[in-house]
Amino acid sequence: MLEALKNRRAIRQFEPREVEQNKIETLLEAATYAPNDRMREPWHFYVLKGDSLKRYEQVALDYLQKRFPTKPHLVESSMNAITKTPLVIVVTSAIVDGDEGATKDNAFAVSSAIMSMWLMAEQLGLGMVWRTRGVGLVHDTALHDFIGASDQEQLVGTLCIGYPAEEMSSVKKRTPFAEKTTWL
């Protein structure tokens, strides 16, 4: 398991081929085994491929053009992240009315579910990157509205998934845990 964690990478370049339905379902099933407070299972998954992915591209383009009206090169490079991605899964977390603590716990659980999906993706020969800012649209209402999420859901991540078109780099240097640990 430690080797799998060390080798996990964000993959941003994908081959132009679809991800098989059974692999998508395996990713979603893996997510459902993430730990979650009081078994609330606070996640919801919105799978975008084919036509829905093309419509999302337009949502992202509109957002980027509005946000960066004087930076067309930035818009273009950001859009490459979407137009060359065969599968996007948007993941939301349930909001618990009147309970900020439970709402935060739900977001933590959904983050864990995303990590489960990431490890499973690599096991299936897929690559993935978890986007939040920019084309991830997690901090904007455009994607929330596009997927039809309810007011009781908050976006946690936009997962871009496909077959890697780039070589996996060597293990990235990480700060040793000893430098980030206080023993009490």
Query: Residue 120 contacts by C-beta under 8 Å, 6 or more apart in sequence?
Result: 26, 27, 30
pLDDT (0 to 100) of residue 137 = 81
pLDDT (0 to 100) of residue 2 = 82
pTM check: above 0.95: no
Q: How many CA atoms lie within 13 A of 109 on its CB side?
A: 24
Separation between Cα atoms, residue 157 and residue 111, nearest integer Å = 8
| pLDDT less than 50: residues of the chain | none
pLDDT (0 to 100) of residue 7 = 80
3-state secondary structure 95-128: CCCCCHHHHHHHHHHHHHHHHHHHHHHHHCCCEE
For 85-95, b/e burial (b = at least 16 CB within 10 A) is: bbbbbbbbbbb
pLDDT (0 to 100) of residue 28 = 98
pLDDT (0 to 100) of residue 29 = 98
Q: Identity (one letter) of the amino acid at 74?
A: L
pLDDT (0 to 100) of residue 74 = 86
pLDDT (0 to 100) of residue 118 = 95
Please, what are the domains in the chain? 20-167 (3.40.109.10)
Q: Distance from CA of residue 175 to its chain's centroid?
A: 24
Residue located via tokens 């009315």? 97
Residue located via tokens 């960066």? 68
Query: Residue 140 contacts by C-beta under 8 Å, 6 or more apart in sequence?
Result: 63
pLDDT (0 to 100) of residue 58 = 92
Separation between Cα atoms, residue 134 and residue 175, nearest integer Å = 27
